[in-house]
Amino acid sequence: KNQVEQSPQSLIILEGKNCTLQCNYTVSPFSNLRWYKQDTGRGPVSLTIMTFSENTKSNGRYTATLDADTKQSSLHITASQLSDSASYICVVSADGTSYGKLTFGQGTILTVHP
Amino acid sequence: KAGVTQTPRYLIKTRGQQVTLSCSPISGHRSVSWYQQTPGQGLQFLFEYFSETQRNKGNFPGRFSGRQFSNSRSEMNVSTLELGDSALYLCASSLTNFQGKYGYTFGSGTRLTVV
């Protein structure tokens, strides 16, 4: 069964600090992995997308890594800001499948305190 | 270019009523998928439409239904509302209905509260 597990469930950090969120998946055959940021009450917004051959992808202060061998991904946030407070969702899709076959993680709730 | 538009943004309904939510995809996108998001279950897939045809359906009861029009706009309907239907309903649109290089974009969602 395809699964995506994220850790930690929640995280509290101080403004300016770095943090790393984890995503482990068992989706096969793997197509791509996306990290989304979701503000409370809003829809998810894509941060990065990585395919099998990509190891690292950056988007400003967000850097995602992918290890297809161990089926792990991480999202590193540098110099956190108060606006980074949100839920971060890892979404994995299997090759050649429709959007109905996306596998979602439960998300990590990040809170940045001043 | 305009994003995915969902209306209404907020809705309060009484148990037993029915509700219709609307999603207008990005211009040119032909695939629309719907998701229910609750604190306990996270994001769960409801159904997906492509060119007015339902291509996939999630594990939700028959009270949840949808349709897509020729202009790709989509609606979902929930009949005989239950308290457990309270959730954020999200739709996402994409150029095609297959994964790979084509991305998908989420709308801001409709917050449904059943009282």
pLDDT tens digits, B61-99:
999 999 999 999 999 999 999 999 999 999 999 887 665
For each of chain A's 114 residues, which pLDDT tens digit applies?
A: 788 999 999 999 999 999 999 999 998 888 889 999 999 988 999 999 898 888 999 999 999 999 999 999 999 999 999 999 999 999 988 766 555 568 899 999 999 999
Nearest one of B33, B104, B27 to B68, comparing CA atoms: B33
CB–CB contact B99 A98 (8 Å): yes
CB–CB contact B42 A41 (8 Å): no
Q: DSSP labels for A39-104? A: -TTS--EEEEEEETT--EEEETTEEEEEETTTTEEEEEE-S--GGG-EEEEEEEEETT-BGGG-EE
Nearest one of B44, B43, B41, B39 to B57, comparing CA atoms: B44
Question: What is the count of residue pairs from A and B with beta carbons less than 8 Å apart?
Answer: 71
Name the closest residue on chain B to residue A48, using Cα atoms.
B103
pLDDT band at B101 (very low <50, low <70, confident <90, very high): low
Q: How far is B21 from chain A (nearest CA, A)?
A: 15
pLDDT of residue A103: 86
Residues near B110 by Cβ (< 8 Å), separated by ≥ 6? B6, B7, B8, B9, B10, B11, B21, B88, B89
Give pLDDT tens digits for B3-26.
Answer: 999 999 999 999 999 999 999 999
B106/A contact by beta carbon, under 8 A: yes
Q: How far is A27 from chain B (nearest CA, A)?
A: 14
DSSP state of B86: -
| Continuous segment of H or E residues that includes residue B53 | strand B53-57
